[in-house]
Amino acid sequence: MTDSPIIVAAVEYAARGWSVIPVKGDKRPAVGAWRSAQTIAAKAGEVPDWFERVKSAAGVGIVLGAVSGGLWVRDFDDAGAYTRWAAEHPEMAMSLPTVRTRRGWHVYGRWKGIRTATMTDGELRGEGAYIVAPPTRADTGTVYAWAVPLPTGDVPEVDPAAAGLAQGRKGKGCATERTERTERTETPERTERTEDTEDTEDTEAIGERWPAETERLILDVVTRTLPPGIGRRNLHLFKLARALKAIPALAAIAPDDVVILKPIVREWHRRAMPNMLSKDFGTTWGDFSHAWARVKHAEGEDVLSAALQAAESSAPPEWAAEYAPQQRLLASLCRELQRKAGEAPFFLGCKTAGESVGVDKGTACRWFAAFVADKALVCVVKGNQTSGKATRWRYVAKDLHESKQPGTLGE
């Protein structure tokens, strides 16, 4: 199937830097909810396997807006309206890529910040919308085809307002999630669903939302961040957030769009239930959403994160054995940062420390005070908010120079 016209076209579109999604014959997304494709575009090499695994895929859709380089589409439902526009703007009509639809035309261009808006004769589509693209064959029998083909390079950069393509606006444009509605059918049930139906995504298989390689990375993260015992849910939820942040396809997901990750968290929750006192998914989802907004350092991305990984894989300091898992993790993090700093003190502010182990700034500061009282940590230079410099510490506990042994810190 990799040589099917649909997959070949989808790969070509993805190679242009456009975000593509598989669509059904009724023009609805074949992956349930498609919010993730509005922020992250699948790579061309990932598309064939992804489209093959989505059995209901009958065509290709292109997500418009910033994720596809500012791509917009003027949808003319009225063929006569397009003809009049083309007569008034012949050069643009000949240069802008154009698709013939059942009832009208799709005219493509590029311009930043175009918001989706309803027109008297169709729509101007941009942020939050997608368009069905050639060579999709709709259930109505319509085959989408290029009347004015795509250029070898970029689609022309044109302000649709200046090109006369934003006239006849019915209301204010909106960047809310809109779905393809180019050719409405007679039956209301056949119209395309909007993202307001996102609740159905919780039953969607992870493999239908992301290409194979990303799916493999996600499932690996889910497996290795599960809590191994009662009372460790919060810490391991934070580990889940940091590990997911390290996956390139997920790293740019903003806190406001965290719902994209809900199927992953639901799968994590399902697998973690035997080792959780709270079986309520709502609590897990709320805690994860909070953690996602607070995670600043993805797993393995810098010195701090590398030290955190080393801390997680090492036995906690004996002097911190009486503390809770997250406090023991902070103690181990201080030890690993000192090892990396050598003879020099290491920098670590309360806010960053809290973000690293999944607690708030105030809690981290109190834990630092406890470590100082334990004579395991010494404050060398207190941090300065004005200069932006973090506190400098020196870890002085006896286990600093002991060889690192695998342990169950935070486990």
The highest-confidence range among 17-26, 51-60, 190-199, 246-255, by mean pLDDT, is 17-26
Paired with 90 in beta bridges are none
In a domain, 406, yes or no: no
Q: Which of 149, 164, 197 is the last residue of a domain?
A: 197
Residue 293 has pLDDT above 90, yes or no: no
Q: Are 316 and 286 found together in one domain?
A: no
Segment 317-332 shows an average pLDDT of: 91
Segment 314-331 shows an average pLDDT of: 91
Which of these ranges, 48-57, 87-96, 108-117, 124-133, has the smallest mean pLDDT? 48-57
Tell me what pLDDT residue 64 has: 93
Q: Which residue has the tokens 């994160």?
A: 305
Q: What percent of the chain has pLDDT over 70?
A: 83
**CA–CA distance, 178 with 188 (Å, rounded to integer):** 16
Regarding predicted confidence, which is higher, 359 or 132?
Answer: 132
Q: Are 19 and 73 found together in one domain?
A: yes
Cβ-based burial of 318 (10 A; exposed 0-12, middle 13-18, buried ≥19): exposed
What 3-state class would DSSP assign to 31? coil
pTM above 0.85, yes or no: no
What 3-state class would DSSP assign to 193? coil
Q: Are 134 and 220 found together in one domain?
A: no
Confidence class of residue 386 from pLDDT cuts 50, 70 and 90? low
Q: Which residue has the tokens 């990799």?
A: 2
Number of structural domains (the chain) is: 3
Confidence class of residue 319 from pLDDT cuts 50, 70 and 90? very high
Q: Which of 197, 228, 253 is the last residue of a domain?
A: 197
What 3-state class would DSSP assign to 163? coil
